[in-house]
Structure 1
Amino acid sequence: MSGLPSYPVLRHLRIATVLLAGVALCLVPYRYLTPPDGQLEAVLARDFLSVHTRNTPTTYYEGRHGPTGFEYELMRRFADHLGVSLTLDASHSIESVLETVAREGDLGAAVLPLEPTREGLIYSRPILDLQPLLVYRRGLPPVTDIERLSGLDIGTIRGSGADRVLRELQAEHPELGWRESSDVEVAELLSRIESGSLDAAVVYEHQFRLNRLFFPDVERGFTLGRPLSMAWAFPDRGGLGLQQEANRFLHALRQEGMLDALVARYFGHDDYLEYVGARVFIGHVHDRLPDYTELFREAARDTGFDWKLLAALGYQESHWDPEATSPTGVRGLMMLTLPTAGEMGVDDRLDPAQSIDGGSRYLRHIKDRLPESITGEDRLFMAMASYNVGLGHLYDARRIAEQLGGDPDTWEDVREALPLLQKREWHSQTRHGYARGGEPVIYVRNIRRYYEILTHVDRSQQQYLQLNELLDGEDDDREFEIVPPIL
């Protein structure tokens, strides 16, 4: 490492930098740090951390606003903690992650169950509890205990740890059988349950929470066995320095409460896209929308959209909260990223006027970039889907729709193709990889619901005003009770 400061100097410099940044979780006293050896020294010398992972919603994927995922967040923070950049290989299954890390690379992070006896690898301290959960197809007799599994066609992911739990149960229940594969992911298992090619599957509880909105015909059954521990895997060559530094980093995250916060952020609820109900929406129409109606009307005049459509999109994004902030740093009433705000000339994302103007022009920008062969409402719906998931993933879905014999210029066929981006057999063939393709489908559906309700409200209010039937101070909730959810 000639020409570089010594490791203690580097550590003090990095800790000083962290202090200035105000990140308490990395403030580890130097006296508790061990000198580098082997793998850690190599990482610091080459200035990047090489990680093998999987392209899944619980690990790493390209989201609407760039790379995301629970373990990606941890990897990125760990690389920042070391003061190095991050390189990822996300082309793996669980088994290939472990095999590859044993031969090359620095770290494996892919919802890996802790297996201390596995040759060629050492593991970090536990990161997250992995509770195996049996899920099954709605319409089957309730599956509430292991005795109800007899005769069911059950699937799971080989190497995930859930298969290990099944093997342990099989010792006591020899009649238990299942199918397993290392080439499927959780979304595909749930999809197979819905289609009827599987009756049930064993996944982890947090994985089901993350995916269940997109698979409404899959029911929660019961937990199996005790929780396993998710951990990172390191090669057993080159000493313990990198593993020990990771343990210090993870310990600090937990002590500062940051690890629990990340778990709550990614797995604490089913999904933010869940439809909130017509009554809640109508309440916000009364309480919040009047403050922004004229801004939406002005943006509509400038961009050619119906103001009610822009308002519906704004509600889907933030519930008309001008100070809304997502976990990924997207902000404002129209939830703009920093790059998008810069591109649209928005210098204050929390200014509702700027946010509505910038978000509306961005939707117009996306719509104008779509191929001319996409017309009418199909063009509008695909523009809205791209606002959510990004143009790259939309183009991938269009190509899948064409492969399936559909029309890539119709929303109906692209809507069917988008959820396939959650399946390895499809997203592995695309340019932009994994996407939570069910989200833009629900996103567009919700906006259309809100738009229809707003259209009804706007029309009704105009009629009442013309007839002088909207009296000051009179409760007009009756108007909204005749508006059912638009399914």
Structure 2
Amino acid sequence: MLTPSRLFSARIGGYIACAAVFLLVMLPAFPPDPEGKKLRAIKQRGFLTVHTRTSPTIYYAGRRGPAGFEYELARRFADHLGVSLNLEANHHLDDVLPAVRHRGDLGAAGLVLTPATPGISFTRPIIDMQPLLVYRRGLHGIGGPEDLAGLEIGTLRGAKGAGTAATLRELQKDYPALSWKESGELEVADLLAQVENSDLDAAVVFAHQFRVNRLFFKNVERGFPLGKPSSLVWAVPDRHNLAFLGEANRFLDDLQQSGELKKLVERYFGHDDYLEYVGTRTFLDHLDSRLPRYRALFQQAARDTGFDWQLLAAVGYQESHWDPDAVSPTGVRGLMMLTSPTAKEVGVTNRRNPAQSIDGGTRYLRQLEQRLPKSITGDDRLFMALAAYNVGLGHLLDARDLAQRRGGDPDRWRDVRDALPLLQQRQWYEKTRYGYARGGEPVIYVRNIRRYYEMLQYVERSRQQFFQLDRNLPSDETLMPFDLVLPLN
């Protein structure tokens, strides 16, 4: 039997049910939202904001424009979304996740997968990062973790050391005597510099970071892997619609399936040397097969500017191997590898035209040389102009300033050469006007050009002697073929 109160409740429930059916039938359904609010907002405003930081493995700005593995990925993702890329790169790594959490779209800054990070979601893994023990050359008997007790070891702290420091903590369970120092202020190049300078005996970094930097630290030896690999990921704020995270994951999946991700990894991390060392045999092959096509152009550029044509040819070989169709990942192209702004500045309308490229690159080199202080003279002036061609005049001037601060002579290439790699270390580049640069590269760049220049001169002298000898031989006498052997020094 229904009481009045129960009867009232039943009637109210019926009315509510009828009203719900009425609303479902009569009111239009809400439209589907496959993209999500965040993804739509990014497309509507036309740009993607990415929080990152300057590092050889992540993002850096050089003469050839923005570069770096994660920069390249982020640029391609922005292109995939049909928007421009807005980088906020003035971060320390520990600042990246808070910035993403509160105001950014994406964090791409060498981030290690750390599940359960408050307010942050992570993408699928991009690459594996293997912790690696490196040590100062000359130390003996370091073959495994059991040999690390008593050594001064350094690694990165906080988000930077999420993989390396955690690996050491795990290793300490089996080797209680193991100890190390952690820093949240240093970068990988700083750690390697401390090993190089004997401030540390060893360091734990990721293997791909060491491959990129090892050329600049010749006294640092590769040791052995430690622990399991960590995962490099991007960070997305939890408040974002899942559709945005899903779109980033689909982009990364497609990049992997197409093989493009593998190509990027090989391009940035596949070789220990950023600048390719070309063997003597390859150089001689190109000397015979390529240089004759452009020799007259180099000679004309030399007459117009006062440079030695063989020096200009050495620059061209270092830049492109005398290939007028050469293109860098950042769009620098042509035999002298000019950027679009530089080409426009020197009046080059077709960077793939060898005559325009050689003429424009030579005039640009002369402009750089003329903009250097008059106190720099002789070969010092030439070497600094070549370094500026590679790294940019601003960074070269920063290195001169650092050389002077360290008690060196800013007008001597030897002292500036020693200061350039400091532009990779935060304690130094934060004191400069133009900031971070891969300062070790122009050192190698100038050294390579000097090597190629000397080889060109040697070959030219050898050929002249050969032709002179040939003219002096009797007509029925022949020369036996021989292999040209170049001096190593």
TM-score range, shorter chain: 0.7 to 0.9
Q: CA separation in 1, counterparts of 2:282 and 2:204?
A: 36
Match of 1:14 in 2: none
Partner letter of residue 92 of structure 2?
A: S
Partner letter of residue 70 of structure 1?
A: F
Q: How far does residue 485 in structure 1 lie from its aligned partner after superposition?
A: 2.2
Match of 2:335 in 1: 333
Once the two structures are overlaid, the 10-residue window that deviates more, 420-429 or 456-465, is: 456-465
Partner letter of residue 166 of structure 2?
A: R
Could you tell me which runs of 5 or more consecutive residues in structure 1 were left unpaired when the two chains were aligned.
Answer: 1-31
Maintained 8 Å contact 1:213/1:274: no
The 1:399–1:165 alpha-carbon spacing in structure 2 relative to 1, beyond 3 Å, is same
Q: Aligned pair 1:103/2:102, yes or no?
A: yes
Partner letter of residue 368 of structure 2?
A: I
Q: How far does residue 412 in structure 1 lie from its aligned partner after superposition?
A: 1.6
Q: CA separation in 2, counterparts of 1:129 and 1:259?
A: 12
Q: Secondary structure at the match of 2:401?
A: helix
Q: How far does residue 63 in structure 1 lie from its aligned partner after superposition?
A: 1.9
The 1:475–1:89 alpha-carbon spacing in structure 2 relative to 1, beyond 3 Å, is farther
Partner letter of residue 175 of structure 1?
A: A
Q: Aligned pair 1:401/2:403, yes or no?
A: yes
TM-score normalised per structure 2: 0.87
Q: Secondary structure at the match of 2:173?
A: helix
Aligned residue runs from structure 1 range 280-319, under 5 A: 280-319=282-321
Once the two structures are aligned, what percentage of the paired residues are identical? Answer: 62
Match of 2:179 in 1: 177
Match of 1:454 in 2: 456
Query: Which structure: larger Rg?
Result: 2
Maintained 8 Å contact 2:35/2:244: no
Q: Aligned pair 1:485/2:488, yes or no?
A: yes
Q: CA separation in 2, counterparts of 1:475 and 1:208?
A: 48
Q: 1:345 aligns with which of 341, 344, 347?
A: 347
Q: How far does residue 221 in structure 1 lie from its aligned partner after superposition?
A: 1.0
The 1:455–1:310 alpha-carbon spacing in structure 2 relative to 1, beyond 3 Å, is same
Maintained 8 Å contact 2:65/2:330: no
Q: CA separation in 1, counterparts of 2:47 and 2:289?
A: 50
Once the two structures are overlaid, the 10-residue window that deviates more, 98-107 or 300-309, is: 98-107
Q: How far does residue 331 in structure 1 lie from its aligned partner after superposition?
A: 2.1
Q: Secondary structure at the match of 1:144?
A: coil
Could you tell me which runs of 5 or more consecutive residues in structure 2 were left unpaired when the two chains were aligned.
Answer: 1-31
Match of 2:227 in 1: 225
Please report the RMSD computed on the Cα atoms of aligned residues, expressed in angstroms: 2.4
Q: Aligned pair 1:241/2:243, yes or no?
A: yes
Per-residue CA distance 1:228-253 (angstroms, 9 max, x = gap) = 11111122224423222211221222
Q: CA separation in 2, counterparts of 1:342 and 1:390?
A: 16
Q: How far does residue 281 in structure 1 lie from its aligned partner after superposition?
A: 2.8
Match of 1:201 in 2: 203
Q: Aligned pair 1:263/2:284, yes or no?
A: no
Q: Secondary structure at the match of 1:264?
A: helix
Match of 2:58 in 1: 59
Maintained 8 Å contact 1:154/1:202: yes
Maintained 8 Å contact 2:212/2:272: yes
Aligned residue runs from structure 1 range 337-376, under 5 A: 337-376=339-378
Aligned residue runs from structure 1 range 83-232, under 5 A: 83-158=82-157, 159-160=159-160, 161-232=163-234
Once the two structures are overlaid, the 10-residue window that deviates more, 134-143 or 234-243, is: 234-243
The 1:272–1:475 alpha-carbon spacing in structure 2 relative to 1, beyond 3 Å, is farther
Maintained 8 Å contact 1:157/1:182: yes
The 1:125–1:286 alpha-carbon spacing in structure 2 relative to 1, beyond 3 Å, is same
Partner letter of residue 322 of structure 2?
A: W
Match of 1:36 in 2: 36
The 1:155–1:33 alpha-carbon spacing in structure 2 relative to 1, beyond 3 Å, is farther
Partner letter of residue 254 of structure 2?
A: A
Aligned length: 453
Maintained 8 Å contact 1:101/1:233: yes
